[in-house]
Structure formats: structure tokens, C-alpha cells
Structure 1
Amino acid sequence: MASNKAHHATGWAAGLIAAALVAHAGTAGPQGLRAGLALFGAIAGGTAPDWLEVAWWSRSRRLWITHRTLTHWGIGWAAACAWAYHSLAAHPVAALGFGFACGGLMHLLADWPNPRGVPWIYGRHSLKLWNSGRCDLIVIAAAWLAAAAVADHVWFHGIHSRWLVDVVRAGRPIS
């Protein structure tokens, strides 16, 4: 499990990805309102699998469900993401749900390297790379690299990615 700060940071990265995908779908709306909804939905979704486990209706605020079970189920988040994406043109608020689901998926990806793993399909699966709270910088950097790549593809037509590939192929230093 990544730390709470890492989930917040990767939630912002998921927000950038969601906003770019909403814009790419051509459903960003006036002044990018729907892209903004996707951004804010993903920020909330980045920590959602953890706070959805808390029984907010009780005084004790204990977990109503075991940690990393139903709220961390990969198929549920992926299905929500797909449904919301396909609903973007029909429902103005679907962008918020799409962002929320993207944030939830990013949360699962951040938890995946932990030995406890996450239940993607059936049972838990783990990459078994490091323990909770360790290597958060790697998780955050990977999320932001993915966000930069998606944003570059959508808003800059991949010009930065192509430039970097050309530099690497040429074997010369970046100047």
C-alpha cells in the first residue's frame, strides 16, 4: 500500500489523465468544464478505495468492510471507468464519474507492488516489490510519467514524446 500522500499525488496524476481523455473524446464542454470535473473526480477517487471502507454513519468510524476487499476490486473500478467513459457524450456529469473511477484505478496500481496486493479479478495479486509506504517516489514518478505521456499525446500531439525518442535513438545528450 502506498502512503496517503502518495495516493493524493497519484490521484492528481490520474486527474490529468482523466481530463486529457475527456478532452480527447471531444466532450470537454464549454471552457473545459467536463475536463475539470474529471480532474476533481480523480483527485477524490485517488483515495476512495480506502475511505469507502470507513463506516461514516457510525460514531466509531470503524471499517464496515475488510481492508482491500470489495473497495479495492479491480474489475469494479475498471467497469466503472469504462461505463463512465462511454457515457461521456450522453451525461454531462459522467466526466466526474470517469475521473473518480480513473483515480480509483490509479489507487489500485499504487497498491499493487505491496506484498498484500489487490484483488484484480479473483483473489489478491501482488507484484511483491516492496512493503507499504516504501518507494512512494517510484509510484508517484511512474504515475506522473504516464500522465505526462497521455497529456502530451492529447494536447501536444505527441511532439515531446517523439523528440525524446529521437534523442534516445540518436544517442546524443539532451540539450
Structure 2
Amino acid sequence: MASTAAHHATGWAAGVIAAALVAHSGAVGPYHVWIVAAFAAGVAGSTAPDWLEVAWWSRKRRLWITHRTATHWGVGWIVLLAGAYRWLGHDALAAPLLGFACGGVMHLLADWPNPLGVPWIAGRHSLNWWNSGRCDVLVVGASWVSAWFVVVHFSAHGWYGWHAVPWLRKIGVGRFI
């Protein structure tokens, strides 16, 4: 399991990815409200697999299901992501649902390298690369590289495009872009 800070940092990247996908689909809504909703839901969804396990209705706030079982099931999150993407532009809730699902999938990807693993289909699978809380910089870095890739490739048109590239090239950072 990645640390809480890593899940929050990857959640911001998931929010950026969701916002770029909503912008690319054209389902931005009035005043681009669905882009903002997708971003906010992506940030919230990045910790959802963990907080959905807590019995918030009880005083003790104990887990009501075992950690990394149903709330960490990869198929469920991917189906939610695909369904929300499919309904973009047809239903008002599709954009925030897409963001929430992006955050959930990002959470699973951050937990996958841990020896405990993630139940993608039937049983848990682990990449078994490192123990909990270690190498969070790699997980966060990979999430932000993914966000950069999605923004560059899916929002290249319109005002929300990647307008920073010429500026980055001028200061020498963008020579790789």
C-alpha cells in the first residue's frame, strides 16, 4: 500500500487525467463545470478504496469488510471507468463518476507493487516490488507522467490545450517535448 500522502498526490494526477478526458469528449457543461467536477471527484476517488471499507455509520469506525477485497477489486473500478466514459455527454453524472473511477484505478495502481497486492480479477496479484510506504516517489512520479501524457495527447485542441510547451521550450525545459 502506498502512503496516504502518495494516494493524495496520485489523486491529483487522476483528477487531471479525468478533467482532460472530459474536456476531450466535449462534455464540459456550462462554464466547464463538468471538468472541475471530474477533477474534484478524481481527487476524492483516489482514497475511496480505503474509506469505503470503514463503517462510517458506527461509533467505532471499524472496517466492515476486509481490507483490499471488494473495494479494491480492479474489474469493478475499470467497468465503472469505462461506463462513465461511455456516458460522457449523455448524463450529467458521467463526468464526476469518471473522475471518481480514475481516482479509484489510480489507487489500485499505487497499491499494486506492494506484496499484499490487489484483487484485479479473482485473486490478489502483486508486482512484489517493494513494501508499504517505500518508493512513493516512483508511484507519484509515474502518476504525474501519465497525467502529462494524457493532457498532451487528449487535450491538444481548444483553450484547455497544452499551451505551456512554447514557454517551456524558451526556458530550456521543453526541449524534450
User: TM-score, normalising length from structure 2?
Assistant: 0.88
Please list every run of at least 4 consecutive aligned residues from structure 1 whose deviation after the TM superposition is greater than 3 angstroms: 156-160
Question: In the alignment, is residue 4 of structure 1 matched against residue 4 of structure 2?
Answer: yes
Supply the distance in 2 between the matched residues of 1:67 and 1:92 (Cα, whole angstroms): 32
Supply the distance in 2 between the matched residues of 1:71 and 1:155 (Cα, whole angstroms): 31
Q: Which residue pairs with 1:38 in the alignment?
A: 38
Any unmatched runs of 5+ in structure 1? 165-172
Q: Describe how 1:1-80 pairs up with structure 2 within 5 A.
A: 1-80=1-80
Q: Deviations over 1:99-156 (max 9, x none)?
A: 0011000000000000010000010000000000000000000000000111111233
Q: Deviations over 1:34-80 (max 9, x none)?
A: 11110011110000000000000011100000000000000000011
2:66 partner letter: T
Q: Describe how 1:119-130 pairs up with structure 2 within 5 A.
A: 119-130=119-130
Supply the distance in 2 between the matched residues of 1:32 and 1:10 (Cα, whole angstroms): 23
Offset of 1:26 from its aligned partner? 1.1
Supply the distance in 2 between the matched residues of 1:32 and 1:106 (Cα, whole angstroms): 24
Contact 2:45–2:102 (CA under 8 A) maintained in structure 1: yes
Q: Which residue pairs with 1:167 in the alignment?
A: none
Any unmatched runs of 5+ in structure 2? 170-174
Paired residues in the alignment total 164
